[in-house]
Amino acid sequence: MEALDQAAPKIRLDGISKEYIVPRTGQRTLAIADVSLDIVQGEFLCIVGPSGCGKSTILNMIAGLAEPSAGTVAMDGAPIRAPGSERGVVFQDYALFPWKTVRENIEFGPRFRSDARLGAAERDKLVRHYIDLVSLTGAEHKYPHELSGGMRQRCAFARALANEPEVLLMDEPFAALDAQTRLILQEELLRIWGEDLPRAERKTVIFITHGIDEAVFLADRVAVMSNHPGRIKTVMDIDLPRPRRESLRATSEFQTLADEIWQLIRREAYEATIDRR
């Protein structure tokens, strides 16, 4: 695995906290507290932790969909204050336009981006590339309701990628899929990401998941969070060879890493199932 510690951060979280105020009661809730983390160019970082620890809150702040109450979130040294096309987001529920076909969904970003107007021929070539990349050739004219869950998620990948973002933010994108499809798409995601390419040629990925095995299979590093409020407990290097294949899951190295992460969050994960606050 290529060294991460010598590279300048692509994304930097510097002492960020997020507090929410419940409008009805005025009660203040500190969702995350004093989180600092550097994510470098081309890294695949997974964030895991018990339910309610603030994983999605962190992702939303990197996406520019929420602002920290304290601290700063920056990309390439510039503060993130709003959404931007350099950051693509893939959600758990696909968030596709139901009235648009696969092709129209993927084309939406390139057609309407204000910073990079493309001609029709150039846009067609770009859209075709991403349809082929996510293996949706032949399904271009179908609508989301005509697709399986896995195909809808492939379409969501392609739509995010067609904007050609530098950073891809993924919020539990496989959580709603069946177990078999989830395993298949984990390998497919690594192929689409280009895990066999040099780090400088890959997109930076920040991936939120509850699945420890999923995190170990995908990531270069796994950030493990605690809750009440959410903090980063540790960041674990996943020193497993790439490209990753299904057989990796059966190795002792894989199982040891997964067990180490589980032991870090096991107690809080249990408490999250009975917390009545």
- DSSP per-residue string spanning 142-162: --GGGS-HHHHHHHHHHHHHH
Question: What is the rounded distance in angstroms from the CA atom of residue 142 to the CA atom of residue 138?
Answer: 9
| Tokens 């529920």, residue located | 93
Q: What is the pLDDT of residue 141?
A: 95
Number of Cβ atoms within 10 Å of the Cβ of 159 = 27
Backbone angles phi, psi at 39, to 5 degrees: -125, 125
Residue 217 makes CB contacts below 8 A (sequence gap 6+) with 186, 244, 248, 249, 254
Query: Model confidence at 17, in pLDDT bands (50, 70, 90)?
Result: very high
Please give the average per-residue pLDDT across 36-49, as a whole number: 97
Query: What's the pTM?
Result: 0.91
Segment holding 269, helix H or strand E: helix 252-272
Query: Model confidence at 121, in pLDDT bands (50, 70, 90)?
Result: confident
Question: What is the rounded distance in angstroms from the CA atom of residue 23 to the CA atom of residue 108?
Answer: 36
> Which pair of tokens denotes residue 60?
């939303």
Question: What is the rounded distance in angstroms from the CA atom of residue 170 to the CA atom of residue 80?
Answer: 17
Sorted by where each begins, the domain ranges of the chain are: 96-164
Q: 164 — alpha (psi -120 to 50), left (phi > 0) or beta? A: left
Of how many residues is the chain composed?
277
What percent of the chain has pLDDT above 90? Answer: 76
Would you say residue 1 has pLDDT above 70? Answer: no
Q: What is the pLDDT of residue 116?
A: 57
Burial 113-141 (b: 16+ CB within 10 A, else e): eeeeeeeeeeeeebbeebbebbebeebbe
Please write the tens of the pLDDT for every residue from 132-161: 999 999 999 999 999 999 999 999 999 999
| Tokens 């890294």, residue located | 43
